[in-house]
Amino acid sequence: MISHWQSSVVTSRHQRTLTFPWQAPAGHVARLREVLTTVTARPGIPDWYEIPATVRKLHPDGIRAVIGYGSWYAEGPRKPTNFPDIYLVVDDYSRFHSNAFHAWMNRRLPPNVYFIWSDDERPRRILGKYNVISWNDLEVECGPQLRDVYNAGRLTKLVWLAWAWDEATRDGLTTRLVDANCTLTPVALGSLPECFSNDSFSLELLGISYRGEPRLEGWEHLRALHAAGAQSYRELHGLLLDAFAKSTGLLEAVPDGFRKLAHPEWPELTRMTWRLLRRSRRRGYLRWPRIILTEPHLVDLAVGEAERKAGVHVKVTSKLRHHPFIFGLPEFLRVLRERATRERIRKDQRSQPPNDR
């Protein structure tokens, strides 16, 4: 098993991939599919359906699937300031976008992100957010050739399938979710110490999208997400760890979790993990200019995000609204200073989740 895994890593280096291809045993893949199929098909409550239905009305053609993710669909960590986040999986960007520039950006840095705003309230309120990604890009970004962790990181959370074009699409989405979990499993392991608990692995896997982007939320939010789906996460992540151990021979089960077996490839796995996270953060910063170019209510968005994610109030003055790039920078720096320390994702690459300190 070691030799097969080593050959996969050599192949990944030759192809300049930033993660570590490995193959889960067929029995584990079948069980992973069962768990994910059950989770994604769970019954929704009434307000789960509102934004998916709204977005489908806005874009009636060329949609393959609508996927709900994040706190709104977690039945636990929702707050009054939360709003639904969804993925819109489309056939083709050129067909979906009427603006060629938007289609071009979507191809270069998927997904494009759009907000749905209230139109009868002042100040404006975000009703929901949707990420646009093509079926082909979804396959790439959930597999070992992924360009960053933005998409796979979100799709390793417990998502909800709001709508699919047909059963083949539904089945294909389950495959993509399995791929995302398997692709990011070695990335999470590369961040963990020699011995770790199952819950520590869960937090690290759930936190990859937070480590790989500049974000205001931190480990407390991740703990709430994990607690909301603890039973499913423990089953799913236990399967992933057991599959990786059996496929590679690099882990062994111990009474309180797992232990990394001595092997010269572990340092390289860790280096590849941090290379991927650094690249993801760089690409994350590139997403900010795109929001500036595509979002018509930028000031309302920035103020809402500061209050929702960092708990910092920003007063919207006429100067700020009319000259956001001049008067917004001091406010942005103030938000960064005042956000609660416990909500920060640690940038030190040597840091670990609280369970492993």
E-strand ranges in 165-297 read 195-196, 251-254, 257-260
Based on its alpha-carbon atoms, the radius of gyration of the chain, rounded to whole angstroms, reads 20
3-state secondary structure of 163: strand
**pTM for this structure?**
0.83
What is the second-level CATH architecture of the domain 2-296?
2-Layer Sandwich (3.30)
Q: Of 58-67, 131-140, 322-331, where does mean pLDDT reach its minimum?
A: 322-331
Residue 153, pLDDT > 60, answer yes
Please work out, in degrees rounded to the nearest 5, the angle formed at the alpha carbon of residue 138 by the alpha carbons of 294 and 219. 75
Between CA 19 and CA 16 the distance in angstroms is: 9
- Name the packing angle between helices 167-189 and 135-142 (round to 10°): 30
Between CA 30 and CA 25 the distance in angstroms is: 9
Between CA 128 and CA 48 the distance in angstroms is: 11
Q: Which residues pair with 126 in a beta bridge?
A: 117
| Residue 220 pLDDT | 75
Residue 68, pLDDT > 50, answer yes
Between CA 159 and CA 221 the distance in angstroms is: 16
Residue 51, pLDDT > 90, answer yes
**pLDDT digits 0-9 by tens, 182-236:** 999 999 999 999 999 999 999 999 999 888 887 656 667 788 888 889 999 999 9
For residue 274, give both structure tokens. Answer: 């941090």
Between CA 322 and CA 273 the distance in angstroms is: 42
For the chain, what are the domain ranges?
2-296
Within 10 Å of residue 141's Cβ, how many Cβ atoms? 25
Q: Which residues pair with 73 in a beta bridge?
A: none
| Residue 307 pLDDT | 64
On whether the CB atoms of residues 167 and 96 are closer than 8 A, the answer is: no
Amino acid letter for position 211:
R
